């Protein structure tokens, strides 16, 4: 099973700040890494697919990068509505696994 480790677990940030969340895989997964946003009491929402591919309807301040074992989700110019938990997810091999999540609090 491929283990995904996100950092940090929690971050308190101010609006307009730039945020970087990292996801490290226990073995190489190519670019089969995806990012989701889950706001309180809501279902997860796909933000980025295949490490860096944008999703229609997702604000352009969200971007992803990386390949192999190290990946990054970047949020430029954070907005209050970005308060949420962010998860990475690998689809390189079964079983599909998620990172433990990174909770973003907006100050």
Which residues are near another protein by CB under 8 A? 1, 32, 34, 36, 38, 43-46, 49-50, 55, 85, 87, 89, 91-101
Decide whether 77 or 93 has the Cβ nearer to another protein: 93
Per-residue CA distances from 93 to 5, 11, 15, 68, 71 (Å): 16, 30, 37, 13, 17
Decide whether 76 or 91 has the Cβ nearer to another protein: 91
Decide whether 9 or 17 has the Cβ nearer to another protein: 9
Is 104:13 a contact under the CB 8 Å cutoff? yes
């Amino acid at each position: 099973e491929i283990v995904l480790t996100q950092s940090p677990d929690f971050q308190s940030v101010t609006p307009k700040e730039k945020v970087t969340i990292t996801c490290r895989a226990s073995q190489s997964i190519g670019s089969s890494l995806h990012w989701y946003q889950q706001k309180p009491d809501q279902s997860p929402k796909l933000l980025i697919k295949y490490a860096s591919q944008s999703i229609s309807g997702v604000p352009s301040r969200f971007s992803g990068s990386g390949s192999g074992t190290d990946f990054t989700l970047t949020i430029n110019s954070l907005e209050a509505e970005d308060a949420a938990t962010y998860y990475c997810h690998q689809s390189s091999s079964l079983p599909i696994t998620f990172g433990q999540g990174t909770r973003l609090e907006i100050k």
